[in-house]
Structures are given as C-alpha cells and as structure tokens.
Amino acid sequence: MTEIKTTCCVAGGGPAGMMLGFLLAREGVPVVVLEKHEDFLRDFRGDTVHPSTLEMMHELGLLDEFLKLPHSTVRELSLQIGDDHLVVGHFEHLPVHCKFVALMPQWDFLEFIADHARHYSGFDLRMRTEATDLLLDEGRVTGVRATTPDGPIEIRADLTVACDGRHSTLRERAGFSVKDLRAPMDVMWFRISRNDNDPSEVVARVESGRMLVMLNRSDYWQCAYVIPKGTADEVKHAGLDKFRNSVGDISPLLRDRLHQIDSWDKVKLLTVEVDRLRRWYRTGLICIGDAAHAMSPIGGVGINLAVQDAVAAANILAEPLRRGTVTVDTLKAVQQRREFPTRVTQRLQIIMQNNLIGPALASKDKRPRAPWFMKLMQWPLLQRIPGRLLAFGVRPEHVHA
Ligand SMILES: Cc1cc2nc3c(=O)[nH]c(=O)nc-3n(C[C@H](O)[C@H](O)[C@H](O)COP(=O)(O)OP(=O)(O)OC[C@H]3O[C@@H](n4cnc5c(N)ncnc54)[C@H](O)[C@@H]3O)c2cc1C
C-alpha cells in the first residue's frame, strides 16, 4: 500500500476543494487534492460566477487573466412568472470591479484554479483518485484511504477537508448528522443550439406545472427544465413528443429546434437536494462546500458559497496548519464563520421554493402569479437588495494573505 504524508488532504476537486487547495498552497501549506474523475469536463454543475467570486479573483491578482477565459456576462436577472415580468437583480450599482455575473463553464473555472495552484511546489493534485474511507487513530481522523488506477493508497494528513460534494463519502463515513431541508423539484438538463439573433441574457420562465431556465453558452443554450420532485419517470413515460411540446410551450423561441432532443440520452436528470450538517467537523476532519451544505440551484449561488467557504477555511486554517496547531476549536471557528451565511442563503432559497416554485409546479391549470414580496422588490430602491444578495451573499469573505 502506497502511503503519502502531507499537511492537508483535500478530498474533492470541485470549486470548494480546488480553491482551498490553491489558497493553502499559496500560503505555503503542503496540500494534496484528490479528485475521483480524470478531468473537470463534467457538464451541468453550474456556471454562474458571481461578483463576490470575481472580486476575490481581483484580490488574488488574477481577475484580468480570468476574464480572458470564454464567458458571457449577465448584468440583470429577470424572471417571467405567468404574465408578470420581474427584475430579480441588477448589478450596476455594486461597489465592485465586475458589475455582472460571469457565465463560465465550471471546467474552465476549475482548470484555471488548477493551473495557478500548480505554480506552488506544495500543491499536489491527484486525478482519478477517489477517497473511499477515513483513516482513524483513537477516534482522530488522520487521513483517507483512496483508490487510484494503480491501486489503493493512504494519505496521512494533519487535517482532512471533505469537499466531495453533496453525496460526500467522507461525511457519511464520519457519521455526521444531516438536516434535510427538502426541495420540491428536480431538474432535467439538455442543450439546444443558439441562433445569432436569440436574446443573450438568461431566460427564466415559470408556468403552471413547469419552469425553464436557459443559460447562454454562446453557440448553445444550456436549459434547465424544472419538474416536481420525483416525477422524472412520469415525464419520460409520457414520451419525448410531450416533453418537447411542453418545452416549446414555455419557450416558443426553441420550438423550431426541439427536434435536436431526439433521445432521452440527451436529457440528464439532476435530483435537487438542500441540506446541511449539524456539525461540520470532528478531530482531524472538516467538511466545507456542498459536503457541509447542499444548496438548491435557486440563485445559482452554490459555486460561490463553496468558494467563500474555501476562502474562510484558508484564512482560519493556514497559520495553524503551518504551525501544526490545528485543534477542534480551530475547526469550530470555520463552521461558526460559515454557518450563518449558509443558513440565511438556504432560508431564502426555501422561501422561493415554498412560495413560488413549489406552488407553480403543483398547479396544472392556474397560471402562476409573482408572490407579493417579489412584486414589492420591483420598487427601484428595493430592487437593489436582491441584486446585492445575489452578488455578494451574506458576509462575503476576503482573501487575507
Ligand atoms: C441542478 C443544479 C444546478 C446548479 N446550478 C448552479 C449554478 O448555476 N450556479 C452555482 O453557483 N451553483 C449551482 N449549483 C450548485 C453547485 O453546483 C454546487 O453548490 C457547487 O458545485 C458545490 O461545490 P463543491 O466543491 O462543494 O462540490 P462539487 O462541485 O460537487 O465538487 C465535488 C467534487 O468532488 C469530487 N468527488 C466526489 N466524491 C469524491 C471522492 N470520494 N473522492 C474524490 N473526489 C470526489 C467530484 O467529482 C467533484 O469534482 C447547482 C446544483 C444543482 C443540483
């Protein structure tokens, strides 16, 4: 059995894990990041890079280079609910360098972080390496066991950080208790070609029994068709024609191209989960990102929250990791720092689920109406509040070193 020793082992190379690995390596902490896939080329993981993350790129001196990657910008987010057209956020008034949300494929984002992290000798990214279990010594987590194409390995570390997403193996192995906040919907993802004269902004529509969000990825639309939870089999059983018609009804723009969905293989199901751990840590181990709190896709804040967790964790942990003085209290400080923003964000997502998405999906005949609080937010001054919340979240983090 190959054994590796390091200071920090990060399991999972998503936004939380890659950013944490990069920031720790940048601060001189030896770090091994394990990613079970062979590359970052996985679709449907969210593309929205919000102003808080872009501002952090500026703090790291990477913003100009980052913005050279292919992306589109969203300066205003609007939502069509039945006959009501609402602006749910605009960003021009924000005191930041980028007054927009950048839509960038997540693999480009992760590859960019990996490229910069590789400049630091302490950064060791291991692809095709899947953490399968925790190593324990008298109740203390001392690393992980992992599988690789060359056989099993053990990574011994002063601290293990679980960044392995919402189906985290490590949080399950650690026996952490999860609070399930429930989501009323699942998402069917597919892509449809985009014409030059199509609108460039995000299209989001809520109608009785369904919802569609279309993200502009230059030559194609990445479409999220939202359905009531657990009804994917029913939708499939009703047949592709019915599915295409239903998409065409909610977005007539796509009608002439819907023949491109000629098989269910082109439609991927993502089951939406919203949950959080009651306690994020135990001696030698902490969870961050979706492993600590799976976010709903509402607001497209998941990547940004995961990145903010990584920044907070790096700010709090780097010095104790360098000195070898990480204690349970250090880990508790990370949860204390990030739990409040997580709770508030999930609360807001659940308010939207319960007052808009759930009722709209449940009603087959009555056209949905915008909830009163969303209409109130259309007043010009109040309109700034959701924009600010979407852009920065709650208690935004800044890179210390
Ligand atoms: C339908 C849907 C749409 C979404 N859309 C958006 C959006 O538009 N914008 C947005 O900001 N957020 C969106 N999100 C949420 C967002 O994708 C997540 O919140 C975010 O990616 C969390 O980052 P993470 O690093 O914590 O976890 P993940 O992104 O899940 O990364 C975990 C990584 O760990 C790897 N891994 C898993 N297990 C292991 C293991 N045992 N060993 C090694 N590696 C492992 C995985 O391969 C993965 O690369 C969406 C979520 C859903 C469900």
Residue 396 has pLDDT above 90, yes or no: yes
Averaged pLDDT, 149-173? 97
Averaged pLDDT, 68-73? 92
Confidence band for 46, pLDDT divided at 50, 70 and 90: confident
Average confidence score pLDDT of the chain: 93
Averaged pLDDT, 286-312? 95
How close is the Cα of 294 to the center of ligand 1, in Å? 9
- Residue 289 CA: nearest ligand 1 atom is 26
Question: Tens digit of pLDDT for each residue in 198-235?
Answer: 888 888 899 888 899 998 888 899 899 999 999 999 99
pLDDT of residue 72: 86
Pocket of ligand 1 (CB under 6 A): 11-17, 34-37, 45-48, 130-131, 163-165, 169, 187, 270, 272, 289-291, 295, 297, 300-304, 306
How close is the Cα of 295 to the center of ligand 1, in Å? 9
Residue 47 has pLDDT above 90, yes or no: no
Residue 129 has pLDDT above 90, yes or no: yes
Question: What φ, ψ does residue 273 adopt, rounded to 5°?
Answer: -130, 145
CATH number of the domain at 2-181+273-392, out of 3.90.79.10, 3.40.1190.20, 3.50.50.60, 3.40.50.300?
A: 3.50.50.60
Confidence band for 369, pLDDT divided at 50, 70 and 90: confident
pLDDT of residue 233: 96
Residue 27 has pLDDT above 80, yes or no: yes
Confidence band for 314, pLDDT divided at 50, 70 and 90: very high
Point out the least confidently predicted range of 61-65, 92-96, 109-113: 92-96
Sign of CA dihedral 181, 186, 191, 194: negative
Averaged pLDDT, 20-47? 90
Q: CA 142, CA 120: separation in Å to the nearest integer?
A: 24
pLDDT of residue 365: 78
Averaged pLDDT, 141-150? 97
Residue 384 has pLDDT above 80, yes or no: yes
**Which residue has the least CA distance to atom 52 on ligand 1?**
297
Architecture per CATH, 185-228+230-271? 2-Layer Sandwich (3.30)
* Cβ neighbours, 10 Å, residue 296: 24
Averaged pLDDT, 330-356? 95
Confidence band for 164, pLDDT divided at 50, 70 and 90: very high
How close is the Cα of 275 to the center of ligand 1, in Å? 14
Q: CA 138, CA 106: separation in Å to the nearest integer?
A: 39
How close is the Cα of 37 to the center of ligand 1, in Å? 13
pLDDT of residue 348: 93
- Residue 224 CA: nearest ligand 1 atom is 1
Share of the chain above pLDDT 90, in %: 72
How close is the Cα of 174 to the center of ligand 1, in Å? 20
Residue 267 has pLDDT above 90, yes or no: yes
Averaged pLDDT, 133-139? 97
pLDDT of residue 218: 83
- Residue 272 CA: nearest ligand 1 atom is 53
Residue 1 has pLDDT above 90, yes or no: no
Judge contact between 335 and 281, C-beta under 8 A. Answer: yes
Confidence band for 44, pLDDT divided at 50, 70 and 90: low
Q: CA 306, CA 177: separation in Å to the nearest integer?
A: 20
Residue boundaries of the structural domains of the chain: 2-181+273-392, 185-228+230-271
SS (HEC) of the chain: CEEEEEEEEEECCCHHHHHHHHHHHHCCCCEEEECCCCCCCCCCCCCEECHHHHHHHHHCCCHHHHCCCCCEEECEEEEEECCEEEEEEECCCCCCCCCCEEECCHHHHHHHHHHHHCCCCCEEEECCCEEEEEEEECCEEEEEEEEECCEEEEEEEEEEEECCCCCCHHHHHCCCCEEECCCCEEEEEEEEECCCCCCCCCEEEEECCEEEEEEEECCEEEEEEEEECCCHHHHHHHCHHHHHHHHHHHCHHHHHHHHHCCCHHHCEEEECCCEEECCCEECCEEECHHHCCCCCCHHHCHHHHHHHHHHHHHHHHHHHHHHCCCCHHHHHHHHHHHHHHHHHHHHHHHHHHHHHHHHHHHCCCCCCCCCHHHHHCCCCCCCHHHHHHHHHCCCCCCCCC
How close is the Cα of 46 to the center of ligand 1, in Å? 8
- Residue 129 CA: nearest ligand 1 atom is 43
Q: 6 - beta bridge partners?
A: 157
Averaged pLDDT, 91-103? 91
How many Cα atoms occupy the beta-carbon half-sphere of 179 within 13 Å? 10
Please enumerate in sequence order all residues whose Cβ is within 8 A of that of 323, keeping only pairs 6 or more positions apart, or say none.
Answer: none
